[in-house]
Structure 1
């Protein structure tokens, strides 16, 4: 009898031990992990995933536009596409204000393209446009230049597209977003810290001039300008087809343009 009782007690103890084991196991599964385990999991989750690093390839226009995501750079200018290229080391000795007779320029554009004007000319030469003289650009010049490539150009490299609202302020005197963008990148950046300073100086010089409202021959144009603008009376001016050039020293006083 005692032997039977001992055996029964042993069985009961084994059953209780098994029940206690599974009960503890269930509780452990339902409990949150220990702080140590939790910290290990968080550390593992926060570790950056290693991936091979490759340079994202972009076109030049994308590289320029991405610097200013608020504009669509269909008017941006790409330095590598410029036929003259960069000259960031040329000195700035004086300035040349280049004015363009818009009707003559637009006639050439229509002869070349018909009704399919390029984007760069649409604002200036589109239907119902009545521009007269406009600002082509304000160009820093090297007094010892022997060719156009010797003058300062793209001094700060390929710059990002300017905001449309900035360009819009100057379309009345320089009619084209691409024109303004290009003149800033190619010329303005060689003498001005900010595009707005450059455009404001163009506007100031342009506003100081009286200009004829009709097409004139070269000599007629020079006579008219000197007659109606006393500051130009003794200055040597320059001209090419549909363009007039007025030169200024570094103190913005009118000076003779070089004949070469």
Structure 2
């Protein structure tokens, strides 16, 4: 009987020790510590550095030409000659267009290529064209510019129009040239001064103002292929020589 009681006491002591001791993994080994070290098979996921969301992405680089000319048309002048009743989207008075993009033209130091052979279709899909209506409000103009100029950029349609938009967004239009309430007298030098003052790095020999019928017609600005401003003597020399110009009002 005393032997039986001794076995019960021993069993109780063993149970108590098991409850108070450290829990073990199989084979009596502890779980390995968590390591921050990656292995060859572990993908490394890095977070972007602070501020990288604000960085400008590189634009597609074209080929087969020397530089670009961004042509900005003063829409009220064009509409007076081509759509005085305001029936088109560009000239509709509700749209209040000032400068719109006429085109982004691949240019050589002398002359320019045009209507180049391309693997892309001559037709610009409407879905792509509509993405440009805020700066280039005409499918006819968009299609024409692709066929005559974009086809010579060495880029596909999407990349060409992406560069076109990026070039437009590089140019700040000063308030005095955004909305004009009444017909104003000006000259090419005053417009160039306003634009160079609003755009650091843009020099007078990197842009020109054209005119027609005594009115401001277009502003043309020269860019390197990476869309940095650059000089362009041939373009600059072709500017308007009229001393007094009319700047028709926006609708």
Normalized against structure 1, the TM-score is what?
0.56
- For residue 93 of structure 1, report the CA deviation from its aligned partner: 1.4
Q: Distance in 1 between matches of 2:150 and 2:199?
A: 25
Say if 2:101 and 2:136, in contact at 8 Å, map to a contact too.
yes
| Gap regions ≥5 residues in structure 1 | 1-90, 146-150
Say if 1:96 and 1:138, in contact at 8 Å, map to a contact too.
yes
- For residue 226 of structure 1, report the CA deviation from its aligned partner: 0.7
- For residue 116 of structure 1, report the CA deviation from its aligned partner: 8.7
Q: Per-residue CA shift, 1:170-214, capped at 9, x if unaligned?
A: 011011001011111110111142111111111111112111214
Q: Distance in 2 between matches of 1:161 and 1:173?
A: 19
Given the alignment of the two structures, is residue 237 of structure 1 paired with residue 207 of structure 2, yes or no?
A: yes
- For residue 250 of structure 1, report the CA deviation from its aligned partner: 3.0
Q: Per-residue CA shift, 1:215-259, capped at 9, x if unaligned?
A: 642111100001111121364311212100111123332111222
Which residue does 2:115 correspond to in 1? Answer: 154
Note closer, same or farther for the CA distance 1:127–1:233 as it changes in structure 2 (3 Å cut): closer
Count of paired positions: 159
What is the correspondence of 1:107-146 to structure 2 with a 5 Å cutoff? 107-110=80-83, 114-115=84-85, 122-145=88-111
Instruction: Determine which of 68, 75, 82 is the counterpart of 1:95.
Output: 68
Which residue does 2:149 correspond to in 1? Answer: 187
Say if 2:192 and 2:204, in contact at 8 Å, map to a contact too.
no
Given the alignment of the two structures, is residue 224 of structure 1 paired with residue 194 of structure 2, yes or no?
A: yes
Moved over 6 A (4+): none
Given the alignment of the two structures, is residue 206 of structure 1 paired with residue 168 of structure 2, yes or no?
A: yes
Normalized against structure 2, the TM-score is what?
0.58
What is the correspondence of 1:246-257 to structure 2 with a 5 Å cutoff? 246-257=221-232
Q: Distance in 1 between matches of 2:193 and 2:206?
A: 11
Which residue does 2:249 correspond to in 1? Answer: none
Note closer, same or farther for the CA distance 1:116–1:204 as it changes in structure 2 (3 Å cut): closer
Say if 2:122 and 2:146, in contact at 8 Å, map to a contact too.
no
| Gap regions ≥5 residues in structure 2 | 1-63, 212-216, 239-251
Which structure shows the higher strand fraction? 2
Instruction: Determine which of 135, 145, 152 is the counterpart of 1:173.
Output: 135
Given the alignment of the two structures, is residue 163 of structure 1 paired with residue 125 of structure 2, yes or no?
A: yes
Note closer, same or farther for the CA distance 1:234–1:159 as it changes in structure 2 (3 Å cut): same
Note closer, same or farther for the CA distance 1:116–1:129 as it changes in structure 2 (3 Å cut): closer
Note closer, same or farther for the CA distance 1:127–1:133 as it changes in structure 2 (3 Å cut): closer
Which residue does 2:77 correspond to in 1? Answer: 104
Q: Distance in 1 between matches of 2:115 and 2:168?
A: 23
SS in 2 for 1:221: helix
Q: Distance in 2 between matches of 1:252 and 1:246?
A: 10
